[in-house]
Structure 1
Amino acid sequence: MTSRFRILSILCLTLAIGIGPGVRYALAAGTPAGTAQAQKDMLPLKELQTFSEIFQRIKQDYVKPVSDKELLDNAIQGMLTGLDPHSAYLDANAFKQLQIDTTGEFGGLGLVVGTKDGFIQVVSPIDDTPAQRAGIKPGDIITRINDVSVQGLGLDQAVKMMRGKPGSEVKLEIARQGVSKPLHFVLKREVIRVDSVKSHMLEPGYGYVRITSFQANTPASLKKAIDKLDHENKGPLKGLVLDLRNNPGGVLSAAVGVSNAFLNRGLIVYTKGRLADSDLRYEATPGDALHGAPMVVLVNGGTASAAEIVSGALKDNHRALIVGTRTFGKGSVQTVLPLSHDTAVKLTTALYFTPNGHSIQAEGIEPNIVVEPLAVGKSLSDGFQMLREADLAGHLANPDGKAKAARDGKGDPSLAHTDFQLYEALTVLKSLALSQSFRAASTG
């Protein structure tokens, strides 16, 4: 038996074992499939033969020797990344890194990145990290890392190049919309400890909480932040601005926990997939941390995934007004399926929907009040449109397929110059609090 057909035989046996007894019986009996389902379950022998031929040709003719493991790992990775931008094969290093990311501590630059047109694009810099302090912005395209072109480089490999020993330096070449020449940055790696919740008082009675990502401990950190604001205010808040701008998402359970912190009842989010165990519903339980005080949620094009779940839950349950610009539009759920030898498959298994049945995938959340990031008389975005889910190659289409627009607003000479959207959010929040007080006085 030739090497090529030995490989094919092994692949066929492996796939038959993985698909199930019905297919094994059909193959063993040598009978044609009698039903549509049986035809679907038949092994694609022609395609497998093509795969084995290419595998053998690479082994024989490639310019340098390549191990079977490397070829098969690459084949698995290609099979997954060809599905959508978020499915991937996680080797031991990538799986370990994913576990580190969800705990909120790692060594690197503090960038959340994606891919676009073969390059690495910044979704958002993490607050108070080397990347954020250096002035790297959402939408920036990383063209070189340490003088190595990233075009065609896998996302995992690019991230690996940017992470490393704290104190060591990384050179980045960046292309920015509206800037004719490449920008060059030399950043020093740090241990990135992501404190996902930050808070302060905007003015007496009105608090501000920013969530930078959704980690396992984010709901508990949120509760501590609100208790701290109540203490500083010497009593319950009149209102709260929840800032989810440039929040790339994170753990689904954390998004559910944050949403639940502000709701007494109602549906938070539900998911739908091909398998029955992918269809889940998450309901709120009593216990509003703000005791009914009004809320405004700030969002923008960098608000993604779990952050969109929170925005959608609070919007659809009429618990908060959403202010800012349309969100990123990542409405898919990835399940991490551990394999042997410390590896895993990250597979898109479902889409999530807001309480009103709205799919966010490739569309995002449209704010109740659209406010562009403007300073007085000057656009901070210079007309640049941020990267969104719908821009990613191979993204899943939205079941409804919608698109939205935006408007701008007015500013104040102080906060408007530093953060116009936040100024507008505070103005809206004050109006809501005044209206709530008026209604309470009228009914009293």
Structure 2
Amino acid sequence: MHELHVHDVLGRKAAGHELTAKEIELFVERVSREEIDRLQLGALLMAIYTRGMVQREVTQLTAAMTRSGEVLRWPDDWTVVDKHSTGGVGDKVSLPLAPALAALGFKVPMVSGRGLGHTGGTLDKLEAIPGFSVSQTAGQMRACLERVGCCIVGQTQTLVPADRVLYASRDVTHTVDSAPLICSSIVSKKAAEGLQALVLDVKYGAGAFQRDARHAAEIARMLVDTANGMGISTAALITSMESPIGQTVGNALEVAEAVRCLRGRGAADLRELVTALGGQLVQLAGRGSAQHGAQLVARALADGSALDKFRQMLVCQGVSEPDAHQLCHGDEWTVLPRAPAIEDVCATDAGFVHAVDAMAVARVCAALGAGRKQAGDSVDHRVGITFLVRLGDMLEIGQPWAQIHHCGNLTDAGRLQVRQALRLTAQRPSPAPRVTGLVQRQ
């Protein structure tokens, strides 16, 4: 019988054929052991990018990637859930959502990532808190889940090692936006967490990877079908990312805003996303309707139980008790780092705030140091932008509408870019919801 080689797999996919489970398993095995020639790997990724994959292939690729490393196991009486976002400007939803779910009795072993591009990721935001450690072993994660109910950590070396190799190769082979590769990367890491239920936040718009709702729904469908095919009860919300989420962009600024949300205050659109995503998880876990679940999450934010879980999580992951208490119940800016310069941005015209260009704001934040151009770059947790107005507010000429937090590196081009990000209209716009669609199991 002919022995199967990666060369054979590459040839079949390049010719447009569907790969068998055995061929996919061989490919992932060679990748995870780093026994595949770089030229062959690049060619195979490009073949997947150009030829695509049917749903069966995507699910089998995801399963093989999940099996390439450790799969976390939890007690049978735990209900283990998580959320994943495709990323957006000002997206600090995970910070209040994980402790709110823990307050409802769920276990949330949230494995998150760092930002690559305009702003920091969830881990970068949390590392703005002195002492917070995102590096946790499986044993430390379990201890935190037992004591608190949630943790937010980075991907360990033993979780989905095949994904680390593929992710780096996708960047240099211009295959980052391949739907099958995106899907298998996201779902394999969530499957390795040992989840029972997963909710996805798939964003579209100026500040998102997907530019319109139709394309967001297409990738959401693949993600939902793949995760359900892996035995994880999954649904996806389609959400708008035309304007930044909440009123801050930048790591420490977003932590402070997340704390305000956990205190039952803050931006309405942030609360909308937290409660809607949490409500879906309640339904997916079989504990009631999504509407009822959203009410339970809102109550956890309002009554302080979610805030207390957040404080406990901080301590469990290395923050001192005094700092954790001060951050949650005192003046958060005595704990979080602040930029030395804060500069107002004033309106040059009058009108109602219709939108703020999320990507324009993100580029300025990146230039200030809030994000990284390549893996390994340092992030300045202090810098970012605060919005002093909300969508629909009336602005007068000369009225401050934003503040830029910087360390002396703000350029005139950056100032202009922020000013031009503001979109005004003569008539007050109708409030637009963040959540615009739902993709469920078929």
Q: Normalising by structure 2, report the TM-score.
A: 0.23
After TM superposition, the score normalised by the length of structure 1 is: 0.23
Q: Which has the higher helix share?
A: 2
The structure with the larger Rg is 1
